[in-house]
Amino acid sequence: MDEAIDLDLAERVGDALRDADETLSVAESCTGGLIGAAITAVPGSSDYFDAGLCTYAYDAKRRHLGVSREALDEHGAVSAPVARQMARGVRDVTDVTWGVATTGIAGPTGGTEENPVGTVYVGVAYAGPWGSESSYVTVSRYVFDGDRAAIRAATVEQALSNLLAELERSRVS
């Protein structure tokens, strides 16, 4: 892995998923498989981890996750609407309880004034029981400092933290 990833965090996510008897899939763009690598570094992750899709290109996002051409054209890949569709798409395509998605600009080039290098969107999608109308998606925007490896590592940790927070929130509600 690029930078040291907090495997304790991945283990806590895994424990929460296992305790709730829930499953996870991830759709990764800027992290290029690092979230899946962190999750599967934990022994027993096959109990809750279903799939990791590395959907780096626009066409991969459309083909594998159902991200709309309109969202990509109008907002670009590094945007809240695309992160939302990626998280929802990976959750639904793999038929799991939780979908997590990352899309961003890890650099060193590619940044703009609106989305500088280090801009990342993390989406977390929950599939509630049928008929409960409790399914939802959250998206958060971050701007991380550092080189490419540091931005990717920070994104993995943030995505796992966001998922853990949603897992804990879902237990309370």
pLDDT given at position 173:
61
Asked whether the beta carbons of 133 and 59 are under 8 A apart, the reply is no
Digit-coded pLDDT (tens) for 88-122: 999 999 999 999 999 999 999 999 989 999 999 99
Integer Cα distance of 78 and 63 in angstroms: 17
User: Would you state the pLDDT for residue 109?
Assistant: 92
Is CATH 3.30.930.10 the classification given to domain 7-172? Answer: no
pLDDT number for residue 158: 98
Question: What ranges do the domains of the chain cover?
Answer: 7-172
What pTM was estimated for this model as a whole? Answer: 0.94
Q: How far apart are CA 117 and CA 77, in angstroms?
A: 14
